[in-house]
Amino acid sequence: MRLEHIGERNAIKMISEITKTDVSDDCAVIPFGKKYFLFTTDMINEETHIPENSKPYYIGWHVVAINLSDIAAKGGKSLGVSVALGLPENYDAKFLKELSKGMSDCAKKYNTKIVGGDTKENNTLTLCGSAVGVVNRKNIMLRKGAKPGDVVCVRNTWCLIRWFAFKQSKKCSYDKPKGERRHSTGRNKCCNLLHGYI
């Protein structure tokens, strides 16, 4: 059976069963003294995640932003971001310069920094970011464990629509309206990132 036939959720379930670890959450939570250590990683590829003609600056911003948002979603603060770059050899050096500037500016915007990474020659542009952070144990926000009386917060109209649809029917579709772009690469990715911090 091909992966396209089992879907992402079943693929994650398979990995969790084999590794004996729940990998369903976007961010790993590890006990660390009186706090939790947070670790996340996210990859983007030009064929599936990056709109055509995207500026390298915003691609760099995006790969950092998607990782910082996972840390913020847990109520944590980032300690640093690492980015591995798979770059075609025929790319201009200016592309790498602008890409790096976008990465750095996004990290600085949210009071963290690029702390490392890797570079490799690759047939297609592929970027993999990783971020680490910490959160007080009392402030951790997990994907599971919500109970009656908890406050549900949304940061935009689309999130509210999805929540209402889920409340009405668990069988509802989460597909975005026709005409809406599936992927976005830009600075707006982090516009509400600080809302996750407690």
Among residues 170, 2, 183, 20, which one has the least CA distance to residue 11?
Answer: 2
Using an 8 Å Cβ cutoff, are 107 and 113 in contact?
yes
Q: What's the DSSP call for residue 78?
A: E
Q: Which of 2-11, 27-36, 48-57 is the most confident on average?
A: 27-36
Question: Which band of pLDDT confidence, cut at 50, 70 and 90, is reported for residue 47?
Answer: confident
Three-state DSSP string of 93-120: HHHHHHHHHHHHHHHHHCCCCEEEEEEE
Given a cut of 60, whether residue 191 has pLDDT beyond it is no
Q: In which residue are the tokens 């961010």 written?
A: 27
Find the range with the poorest average confidence among 1-15, 117-131, 175-189: 175-189
Other CB atoms within a 10 A radius of the CB of residue 71 amount to 28
Q: How far apart are CA 144 and CA 141, in angstroms?
A: 9
pLDDT for the residue numbered 147? 80
CATH superfamily of the domain spanning 26-138+155-196: PurM-like, N-terminal domain (3.30.1330.10)
Given a cut of 90, whether residue 119 has pLDDT beyond it is yes
pLDDT for the residue numbered 23? 78
Find the range with the poorest average confidence among 38-52, 118-132, 151-165: 151-165
Q: How far apart are CA 50 and CA 58, in angstroms?
A: 10
Find the range with the poorest average confidence among 38-42, 117-121, 123-127, 149-153: 149-153
Taking only the tens place, the pLDDT of each residue in 59-104 is 999 999 999 999 998 999 999 999 999 999 999 999 999 999 999 9
Find the range with the poorest average confidence among 36-45, 102-111, 136-145, 150-159: 150-159
Using an 8 Å Cβ cutoff, are 40 and 30 in contact?
no
Quote the Cα angle for 50-51-54, to 5°: 90
Given a cut of 80, whether residue 188 has pLDDT beyond it is no
Residue 159 is which amino acid? Answer: C
Q: In which residue are the tokens 């809406």 written?
A: 180
pLDDT for the residue numbered 165? 55
> In Å, what is the CA distance from 121 to each residue of 35, 87, 127, 194?
38, 5, 12, 35
pLDDT for the residue numbered 195? 54
